[in-house]
């Protein structure tokens, strides 16, 4: 762990934490000496995760059964974690669904399900846990796990991309609000990871059964899932999240292969800017905004009257 480990004994709550990236985060956190509360939905997955902790000789996490769209249950979970450990220091909003289809054919149920889990689940985590984290002391942090889709859209991923763009915007703004409280805040955007996220489409709740997407042909999802076998090990993603938290990075990118995408994106944005002079009044307002962002990140509370 090393003498510079700032997370020893800190209490973390991680959603969707018994498989995939969530489990990788939980394992990396456990290796750093953190105390864990982990949300889950499937009992077999919970049991498998418990076996990993037992095999390492670690204290068993507090396992909390939770549907992240259930606000009442999320509030109960926050109270349960605080009562069990006495404080909560870290929140990782990780749970999500990876569901794809052409956006022009999407139904309301498609929007409500995907946005409800991927964005609404983050909202529910923040509303439920931020009061607990603010009340705690010492090193504290919030991580919202989005996706590289928060930057890079795709033709089959419209609603998924919208949900991840939303998490990105929320997190980048939240960072400024948490800084005055001494709470770190990171947006993590992983790319291809060795998980079973591709199975999300088979777990659609009955309440959102009316999909506009055509049903996958036999073997189609399984073929799509073979791409995930090439993905990064979830533990490596978890370790990179932990390292980013330690360095107080606002943005945690785990995969190195997207340089060409960001170069192209930057060039497109710069090329779209009008080649003309802006008037002094607008330039002044924008500089006030930039200064407010710098001040907020430094820990100052920014009021509306500072923006004009």
Q: How many CB atoms are located within 10 Å of the residue 225 CB?
A: 14
* Assigned domain for 5 exists: no
Based on the fold, state whether residues 200 and 299 are members of the same structural domain. no
Residue 287 domain boundaries: 274-308
Based on the fold, state whether residues 159 and 300 are members of the same structural domain. no
Q: How many CB atoms are located within 10 Å of the residue 27 CB?
A: 21
Q: Of 58, 160, 176, 235, which is the active-site residue?
A: 160
**What pLDDT is recorded for position 229?**
83
Based on the fold, state whether residues 224 and 82 are members of the same structural domain. yes
pLDDT digits (tens, 9 = 90+) for 31-83: 999 999 999 999 999 999 999 999 999 999 999 999 999 999 999 999 999 99
**103 is written with which tokens?**
């956006």
* Assigned domain for 269 exists: no
CATH of the domain at 56: 3.40.50.720
Based on the fold, state whether residues 60 and 199 are members of the same structural domain. yes
Based on the fold, state whether residues 157 and 279 are members of the same structural domain. no
Based on the fold, state whether residues 132 and 107 are members of the same structural domain. yes
* Assigned domain for 1 exists: no
Based on the fold, state whether residues 133 and 281 are members of the same structural domain. no
Question: Is 108 in the active site?
Answer: no
**What pLDDT is recorded for position 245?**
98
Number of domains in the chain: 2
Minimal CA–CA distance to 120: which of 175, 170, 50, 179? 170
Question: Counting every residue, how long is the chain?
Answer: 308
Positions of E strands within the chain: 11-14, 35-40, 62-65, 90-93, 140-145, 183-189, 251-253
* Assigned domain for 116 exists: yes
pLDDT digits (tens, 9 = 90+) for 226-281: 767 889 999 999 999 999 999 999 999 999 999 999 999 999 999 999 999 999 99
**227 is written with which tokens?**
């791409």
Based on the fold, state whether residues 232 and 291 are members of the same structural domain. no
* Assigned domain for 291 exists: yes
Based on the fold, state whether residues 183 and 297 are members of the same structural domain. no
CA pair distance 84, 106, nearest whole angstrom: 42
* Assigned domain for 265 exists: no
Based on the fold, state whether residues 74 and 195 are members of the same structural domain. yes
**What pLDDT is recorded for position 156?**
86
How much is the CA Rg of the chain, to the nearest whole Å?
20
5 compared with 286, residue with greater pLDDT: 286
* Assigned domain for 267 exists: no
**104 is written with which tokens?**
């022009």
Whether pLDDT at 223 is above 70? no
Based on the fold, state whether residues 56 and 84 are members of the same structural domain. yes
């Amino acid at each position: 762990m090393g003498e510079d480990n700032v997370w020893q004994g800190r209490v973390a709550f991680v959603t969707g934490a018994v498989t995939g990236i969530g489990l990788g985060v939980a394992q990396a956190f456990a290796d750093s000496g953190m105390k864990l509360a982990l949300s889950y939905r499937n009992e077999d997955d919970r049991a498998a995760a418990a076996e990993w902790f037992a095999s390492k000789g670690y204290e068993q996490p507090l396992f909390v059964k939770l549907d992240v769209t259930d606000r009442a249950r999320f509030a109960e979970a926050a109270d349960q974690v605080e009562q069990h450990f006495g404080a909560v220091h870290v929140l990782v909003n990780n749970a999500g669904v990876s569901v794809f289809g052409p956006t022009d054919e999407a139904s309301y149920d498609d929007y409500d399900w995907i946005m409800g889990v991927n964005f609404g689940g983050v909202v529910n985590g923040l509303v439920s846990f931020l009061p607990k984290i603010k009340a705690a002391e010492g090193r504290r942090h919030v991580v919202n796990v989005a996706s590289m889709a928060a930057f890079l859209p795709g033709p089959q991923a419209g609603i998924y991309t919208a949900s991840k763009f939303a998490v990105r915007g929320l997190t980048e703004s939240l960072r400024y609000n948490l800084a005055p409280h001494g709470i770190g805040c990171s947006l993590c955007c992983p790319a291809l990871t060795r998980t079973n996220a591709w199975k999300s489409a088979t777990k659609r709740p009955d309440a959102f059964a009316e999909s506009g997407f055509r049903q996958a042909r036999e073997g189609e999802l399984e073929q799509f899932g073979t791409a995930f076998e090439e993905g990064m090990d979830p533990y490596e993603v978890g370790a990179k999240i932990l390292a980013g938290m330690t360095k107080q990075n606002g943005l945690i990118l785990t995969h190195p292969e997207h340089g060409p995408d960001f170069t192209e994106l930057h060039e497109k944005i710069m090329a779209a800017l009008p080649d003309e002079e802006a008037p002094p009044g607008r330039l002044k307002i924008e500089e006030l905004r930039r200064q407010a962002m710098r001040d907020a990140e430094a820990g100052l509370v920014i009021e509306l009257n500072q923006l004009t």
